[in-house]
Amino acid sequence: MTRLSPSPATPSSDPGADTVVMLGLAAEFEFEAFVRLAGDAAAAPSIQERQVIARSAVRALERQERLVERITALGGDPAEAMAPFDGVVQDFEERTTAGSWSERLLKAFIGYAVADDFLRLLAEGTDPETRELVAGLLGDEAHTELVVAQLSQVLADDVAASRLALWGRRLVGDALAVIQGTIVRHPAFGRLLAAAGPGESEDRVQRVFAALTAEHTRRMERLGLTA
Amino acid sequence: MTRLSPSPATPSSDPGADTVVMLGLAAEFEFEAFVRLAGDAAAAPSIQERQVIARSAVRALERQERLVERITALGGDPAEAMAPFDGVVQDFEERTTAGSWSERLLKAFIGYAVADDFLRLLAEGTDPETRELVAGLLGDEAHTELVVAQLSQVLADDVAASRLALWGRRLVGDALAVIQGTIVRHPAFGRLLAAAGPGESEDRVQRVFAALTAEHTRRMERLGLTA
């Protein structure tokens, strides 16, 4: 992470344009989460789980639709805003292949949670309405509860628990790497992070990663896993 | 089709049990349609189309949830009812692989429409409430409009139009073959068709295929294609 070279946070002529970039990432992310969760639902080992995960997929699409509306309200073009982030979830997916259903469940859970946290941090640099929208939309308590309930059974087995803890550490590394690449490629994100808090750009990015890692550690503890 | 040997329509001790078998097929079909449409949305060539198809996916899941409720209301177990039909859409999917986006669009459109018609015919042999539910749920006008609008552009080209007409004929053959296999494997469907109309079982099945083919021809004409 220390080798990270974010784009210099040069002021944008239009802060609204940076907000639209962030909303484009959020909307594309939610759309791809919808597709991926629909596929997860099909692979779920029981009907109960598949119904819960299918509903999570629908909620991701509903969030995406709200984000698309906000892009339009800010005068942005949703298709243009989302296009640069095409494949953002796939990038994360391809880094590591989940073996078991537990690994797959944990992968979606960790990946989406880290992405949510990152989007919330970016949104702190936007207008109050967008900030509130993003803070309110993200997170999916029903999905979290499913993951916690499912994994708690698996985690009764110590060997499985330590394997999943290792898997969790790999996943958060992958998620942070994808986020790092996103920050480097999109100067708008450097500016939004600058608007959210003072400091040199390198420090700011370090703070973002520290915040994301802290949140991840809390989540892993909730699951009973060592982060 | 003339070689078809449906199970003899011996009366079931409990007509409600046959209804639950039909609802199990309908619910499984809608669930798999949801998964498949979510994948289609991801492959759509434009953002507008992907949003429309993603919404079609959500509607398929909503229909499935209504069907699952009805299974429960009739004292059935949704997981047990759906299980025998696991892979029903996949069976259709694997018979022919769509090349272009137009072919893929037409494939979902034709396959789902034929399945809807078949489910409606089966529902005619069930109780009035189930019949009304199935008749009201099926069909997706927004999805139809998208397909009609999209394909009308492609069909301006005569060569493309005759290729798609040929593709449509293959697809309806595949759809009818899947339905035929389903009738043969599940005696409940023979009984529901018997309850819906008189005649020998072989004649009844012939009538079903005639009805499905007639509906298909009307749909192809609406698209401007020769069935």
CB contact under 8 A, A39 and B34: no
CB contact under 8 A, A34 and B50: no
Per-residue pLDDT at B5: 47
CB contact under 8 A, A42 and B50: no
| Structural element, H or E, at residue B69 | helix B47-73
Contact B165, B220 (CB under 8 A): yes
Per-residue pLDDT at A28: 96
Contacts of A41 in chain B (CB under 8 A): 34-35
pLDDT (average), residues B48-67: 93
Partner-chain residue, chosen from B34, B51, B65, that has the shortest CB–CB distance to A38: B34
Per-residue pLDDT at B39: 93
Per-residue pLDDT at A4: 46
Per-residue pLDDT at B3: 43
Contacts of B31 in chain A (CB under 8 A): 50, 54
Mutate to test the interface with A, among B32, B49, B56, B61 (most CBs of A within 10 A): B61
CB contact under 8 A, B51 and A35: no
Q: Is the dihedral of CA B54, B56, B62, B65 positive or negative?
A: negative
Q: Which pTM value belongs to this model?
A: 0.86
Per-residue pLDDT at A12: 54
- With a CB cutoff of 8 Å and minimum separation 6, the contacts of B172 are B110, B114, B213, B216, B227
Contacts of B33 in chain A (CB under 8 A): none
Q: For A78, list phi and psi in degrees, rounded to 5.
A: -55, -45
pLDDT (average), residues B46-67: 92
If you search the block for the tokens 């999109």, which residue do you land on?
A186
A12/B131 Cα distance (integer angstroms): 60
pLDDT (average), residues B60-82: 96
A178/A117 Cα distance (integer angstroms): 14
What domains are there in chain A, each with its CATH number?
15-223 (1.20.1260.10)
pLDDT tens digits, residue range B176-190? 999 999 999 999 999
pLDDT (average), residues B110-138: 92
Alpha carbon of A206: minimum distance to chain B alpha carbons (Å): 34
CB contact under 8 A, A39 and B39: yes
Q: Is the dihedral of CA B84, B60, A79, A17 positive or negative?
A: negative
B121/B196 Cα distance (integer angstroms): 8
pLDDT (average), residues B7-17: 63
Residue B199 pLDDT greater than 50, yes or no: yes
Alpha carbon of A173: minimum distance to chain B alpha carbons (Å): 26
Per-residue pLDDT at A10: 53
Contacts of B41 in chain A (CB under 8 A): 34-35
Alpha carbon of B111: minimum distance to chain A alpha carbons (Å): 19
Q: What is the mean pLDDT of chain B?
A: 87
Residue B168 pLDDT greater than 50, yes or no: yes
Residue B169 pLDDT greater than 80, yes or no: yes
B187/B7 Cα distance (integer angstroms): 5
| Structural element, H or E, at residue B113 | helix B101-123
Q: What number of residues does chain A have?
A: 227
Per-residue pLDDT at B27: 97
Higher pLDDT, A133 or B222: A133
Contacts of B42 in chain A (CB under 8 A): 32, 35
Confidence bin at B2 (pLDDT 50/70/90): very low
The two three-digit tokens of residue B36, written as one number: 């498949």
pLDDT (average), residues B111-138: 92
Contacts of B35 in chain A (CB under 8 A): 38-39, 41-42
Alpha carbon of B175: minimum distance to chain A alpha carbons (Å): 21
Q: Where are the alpha helices (DSSP H) in A96-140?
A: 101-123, 128-137
CA distances from A71 to A15, A81, A116 (A): 13, 8, 18
pLDDT-flagged residues of chain A (< 70) = 1-13, 139-140, 142, 201
Which of A105-109, A140-144, B143-147, B211-215 is the least confident region?
A140-144
pLDDT (average), residues B132-146: 79
Return the C-alpha torsion angle B56, B57, B62, B65, nearest 10: 150
Residue B19 pLDDT greater than 90, yes or no: yes
Q: Where are the alpha helices (DSSP H) in chain A?
A: 15-43, 47-73, 78-82, 88-95, 101-123, 128-137, 141-154, 158-185, 187-196, 201-223
Higher pLDDT, B13 or A141: A141
